[in-house]
A and B are shown apart, each in its own frame.
Chain A
Amino acid sequence: MATPIEMPKLSDTMEEGVLSAWLMDEGDQVSSGDILAQVETDKATMDLEAFDEGVLLKKVIGEGDSVPIGQLIAVIGEEGEDISDLLDEGDDDGAADAEAAVEDATEPEPEPEEEPAPEVDVADEPAGDGQLRERTPEPVPAGTDAEGRRIKASPLARRIAQEHDVDLARVDGSGPEGRIVRRDVEARIEEGEPAPPPEREERAPEPAPQPTAEAPTYELPDDEAPYASEDISQMRKTIARRLAQSKYSAPHFYLTVDIDVEDAVALREDLNELAEEQGRAKISFNDLITKSCALALKDHPYVNAAYLPDEGEIRKYNRVHMGIAVAIDEGLITPVVRDADRKGLTEIARETRELAERARSRDLEPEEFEGATFTTSNLGMFGIEEFTAIINPPNSAILAIGEIRDTPVVEDGEVVPGKRMKVTLSCDHRVVDGATGAQFLDSVRSYLEEPMNLLL
């Protein structure tokens, strides 16, 4: 029997994907694990892996095509097999929504003989034999493989995977019948999953909104079209959707403070002299801010929180995961430095730089840009003195960081040269009140004005 390959859901927020490149040709022999194509999601370009054996009979969509998740994109089967039924269905559900497409395509096409449509059995049959199974009728992203089949995993393994944002589809099970058990997930985490994010609500990878500084051009030659059209990329769509949602559901207010960063600048210079001598990663000023915010967040739980109306709760996170907005060609993304309150400056510096580099090459794993509990956005390098940012949902606040400027200040009644930096906190008033936000900012300021505290 031929097997349909559908557009998989590759990130929490993905709704459709662009097939950016086919890596195999029609007629090629496919083994499980082969990379069929690359798919551009709203966050990253990811590999589309084959889970079946056979011959790539048909590429249903071409490079550059964008299709919703669940839609047929290719067919694998035996040489010469008639796949017209499958292709007809693919046509029929072209416009249907993703879930319907999954059902249509999988129901009449069970897996090869040795696997008699396991997902149907599990869903319909009361599990009276005490076997561990769940009867979730709808596909659960965390518990299904790319083709929507149920992944066998112990409840504990599922829970740990969820807490650590591990995709079970990428874990090998060592238990009976390939069941994924605790040790398998732990091994996967060990291999290089980052530290766990605190919660599992929908994550908000996208960062702060910044006004893009497009220089308007006034030199349109008369004989050319008045504008150029460009397809909206997945990333732009996500940014548009998430930030609009943030701005209309979270009542924003803004608090600005001017921080004396003279000592912090001097400290950073000293630290970097040392770092150079010892061959360690250099620390950016932004790393000092990351650490200051992380420490301050520990003392102000409502700023390290989320307002979750669907769950009827305000969730105060016990851990501090700092999202740091990084501008990339297609838009921006917020890689996450986890447990930044517990990390030293060198580690924060090294990790931030590494994440930012991979963000620019669109090489981040979903778990590396999901799960931030607070976000910062820095436009200081562009000479922006101060600005306001849109909160990265479901965070309750975001810090917009301006440039460090040399400015005259009044000290003991005299005007002297000083170094100052303005930061603006955008707060979600559903969680953070004015005084709460002000106290948090005061803590951030204290850390930056007495930066030796960051070394403790």
Chain B
Amino acid sequence: MATLQFREALRAAMTEEMERDDDIFLIGEEVAEYDGAYKVSKGMLDQFGSRRVIDSPISELGFAGLGIGAAMNGLRPIVEFMTFNFSFVAFDQVINNAPNMQYMSGGQFTVPIVFRGPNGAAGQLGATHSNSTEALYSTFPGLKVVAPSIPDDGKGLLKTAIRDDDPVVFLESELMYGMKDEVSDAEDYTIPIGSARVAREGDDVTLVAHSKSYHIAMDAADELEERGYEAEVIDPRTIKPLDIETIVESVVKTNRLVVIDESNPFASVASEVTHQVQDRAFDYLDAPILRVTAPDTPAPYAPNLMDAYMPGVDETVDKCLQVLYAK
């Protein structure tokens, strides 16, 4: 094991894969000469040269489409969006061409592409730069959506995403790039897409949370422990396909579920988890499923408002106590 920052773990994943397979290339705004806006691709231009680490113009629609064309012709592009807020200008490529091509061509073309970059709010960035896109991209059949919460999962899942023959939306976070943790340096370390991680076991209440929210869930679980409740924390890691079995298994045990998802609440990942759990585990629920999400408003700019806007530990603990009928 090595202790790496999240950005270093992602870089290790891309580097190892590019060393293994000459068809893989990285393209995006400032990924090469500037080492990436968040230094994820630091040093990769020096190692792989400008044929495989390519600075694009500021034209997401163009380079996302270029990536899809390259993928259809046998290459395996990694397309970095400086943030996923900018993926919206490439929307047609990401949601229409990438996921539908294999189906529309009767299987003649696959699109082995990874769209990656930071997702969600990250402090005072304003409403247009604070969007959470996981629910949005999960709604389109044909796209896989991955959103790891710890560096080790970041590495293992990004390697798997690069090797996957389907388009994968890989969601990172500005606020987590500097997060340090142990990362496997095992040779060929991969984590399968579609498998959740039970991060903490408990019998009293299940918390489901991905990406940044996962850390809120873990802190809330600590606080609940001080109050005498054992929370089980599940990080789905992959939003789509969703490992619902692991979640249902846990709810069957705990009879209670709180989903933490920093997205806006309407038709969110939390909504989907809630639906699937009530569908499969209705008779095991002892309380309504509650969600902790951002409110149904644009993200604010002022720091005090932003604090109130984002899901937090206190709110999570409070919702857990509600489903435990402890308040």
Give the B-binding residues of A (Cβ under 8 A).
Answer: 130-132, 154-159, 174-176, 181-183
Contacts and interface: CB of A to CB of B under 8 A. Distances in A.
Nearest to B284: A156
Contact of B288 (A130, A157, A158, A182): A130
Contacts of B288: 130-132
Given A156-B255, A182-B255, A132 B285 contact: yes
Contacts of B285: 132, 154-156
Interface residues of B, number: 11
Contacts, number: 34
B22 interface: no
A130 B275 CA distance: 9
Interface string B316-327: 000000000100
A159 B289 CA distance: 17
Interface string B285-327: 1111100000000000000000000000000000000000100
Given A154-B286, A156-B286, 11 more contacts: A130-B274, A131-B288, A132-B287, A154-B285, A155-B283, A155-B286, A156-B255, A156-B284, A157-B286, A175-B287, A181-B286
Output the residue of B285, B286, B288, B325 with the most chain A CB within 10 A: B286
B165 to A, nearest CB: 38
Interface of B: 255, 274, 282-289, 325
A91 B142 CA distance: 65
A132 B283 CA distance: 11
B161 to A, nearest CB: 33
A183 B325 contact: yes
Contacts of A181: 286-287, 325
A181 B274 CA distance: 19
Contacts of B287: 132, 154, 175, 181
A361 B272 CA distance: 55
Nearest to B274: A130
A322 to B, nearest CB: 28
A158 B282 CA distance: 11
14 contacts: A130-B288, A130-B289, A132-B285, A132-B288, A154-B286, A154-B287, A155-B283, A156-B255, A156-B285, A156-B286, A157-B286, A159-B284, A175-B287, A181-B287
Contact of B325 (A130, A131, A155, A175): A175
A174 B325 contact: yes
A175 B321 CA distance: 12
Nearest to A153: B286
Nearest to B282: A155
Nearest to A132: B288
A192 to B, nearest CB: 22
Nearest to B283: A159
A120 B255 CA distance: 29
Contacts of B255: 156, 182
A156 B287 CA distance: 8
Contacts of A176: 325
Contact of B283 (A130, A158, A175, A183): A158
Contacts of A175: 287, 325
Contacts of B283: 155-156, 158-159
Contacts of B282: 155
Contacts of A174: 325
Output the residue of B284, B288, B289 with the most chain A CB within 10 A: B288
Contacts of A158: 283
A118 B69 CA distance: 59
A183 B287 CA distance: 12
Contacts of A183: 325
B168 to A, nearest CB: 31
Contacts of A132: 285, 287-288
A182 B274 contact: no
A175 B286 CA distance: 10
Contacts of B284: 155-156, 159
A151 B289 CA distance: 20
A415 B255 CA distance: 67
